[in-house]
A and B are shown apart, each in its own frame.
Chain A
Amino acid sequence: MSTTKSVGQTPSTLWTARLRNKFFGGLPPERLLPDKQPAYVASWIYVFGVLTIASLLIIIASGVWLSFEGPLWWHTSNVGHFVNSIHFWSVQLFFFSMAIHLWGKFWMSAWRGGRSRTWMTGVLAFLASIGTAFTGYLVQTNFDSQWIASEAKDGLNSVGIGAWFNVLNVGQALLLHVAALPLIVGLITIIHVLQVRRRGVVPPVGFEDSSGDAA
């Protein structure tokens, strides 16, 4: 027998109350920061989501440091080069963790039980991250960025995107890389994590019934 519990919401016509109900109705504190998890949460695969977020924080911290010093600093300063290396390797770890996380969630059919939006925000975060990393390669201001810009322009121009996003314009790429795109990735990541907290971790296949008994 299934034992489900839907969170109640106070009906109201006020926008404020409706927003509060929508957000906090599905995310009471004990669900936002739970101190227990279903017994099936016992696999190394669960580590890669939090590793992705941890990598993202290192990326942001090293990126903020680089932004304080300017885009050319790291070519002439040993400290700058080291901070750039931190930025570089945290991006590699970020994508490594994210790829395993994504594949893991695929094989777990993690969209089951009304979790399609969790899956979709995760995919959007992945795609936005690719765009953000790509602009990062464009703003290295070295040979690699020269060549990547020269190659990438043809792909972007061929579908009309290049008319608005000119990869040869390092100023445009730099602003996108340090402002707009990290904001987008950050927001999607927050929404994704809140979706996970709201819906909970997907149960094993065959145990979609929340009682813990096989369906």
Chain B
Amino acid sequence: MSNQANTSDIQFRQASVEYNFGFLDEYAKKEVRRSVLKAIAIPGYQVPYSSREMPMGRGFGTGGLQLTLSLIGKQDTLKVIDQGSDDSVNAVNLRSFIEMTCPGIDTTTKVSEANLIQSRHRIPEQALREDQVLVLQVPYPDALVVVEPSEDKRKIMHGEADYSRLLVKLYEDIVKFDEITISHRYPTRINRHYVIDSSPIPRWDVPKMNDSRALILLGAGREKKIYAVPPYTLAEPLEFDDVPFRVESFDDETDKRRTCHRCGCDHSFLDEFVDAISGEKLYQCSDSDYCDEQLKARSVKQGLEG
């Protein structure tokens, strides 16, 4: 055991010596930062950048990772989330890769302690602050890709804010299913012009982008695009005047709000899973850090009462 720990420790130190801080070379970082500035200056506009090869497959969060590595400094505290959890394989691997290549940084699982948060699928339940930056990993940056295969034409459509065909898709959804069936990647209009693909975050998280206190950066490594929702910027999901946007409902058959079976929370985004032994359907907070916090708060309260 101790021997194994030793080897990995040596590898760890070697890696941090042989690679530049943050794995990327300074020119690459500079380019990403410049693209970030442009993305913030033109909210919602997809800034093309020369996405670098990373030591992991494209589509595994390389866009988010390049943003994080370009922004992080020794004084920063990082949190990495995947599917709402800090402990899933992808989150653990990304975190240890960043720890390895950025010696001196702090990592945490607590939203309140982090100033840089890289995430896939979720925006934390706990409201973010002005001093925090949220980096989202994006598989498909262009919301128009579902209606227009040619990127040339999509660029013109974005430039002219021509999103009628996207709205036709919503219209067809309502005709066929009486509601809008997009569950994630909900097209969202930023600052009244560009419509973005909101990464694979569920509809639940879309309202959190509106007027957000934290800067939200979105990076697509495979598609080589960076875009941003700057703080205090309008982010409106596409909708019809008389068919408004709605978030997911977690009501059960009796119209009662389901609660997290672990912490009892009744206002968070829930994951459904089936208990392997009893076969029973269980619901649990998707944001694991938030669930822990709620659990702690509850036990403190119970402790006080008891």
Tell me if chain B binds chain A. no
Which residues of A line the B interface, CB within 8 A?
Answer: none
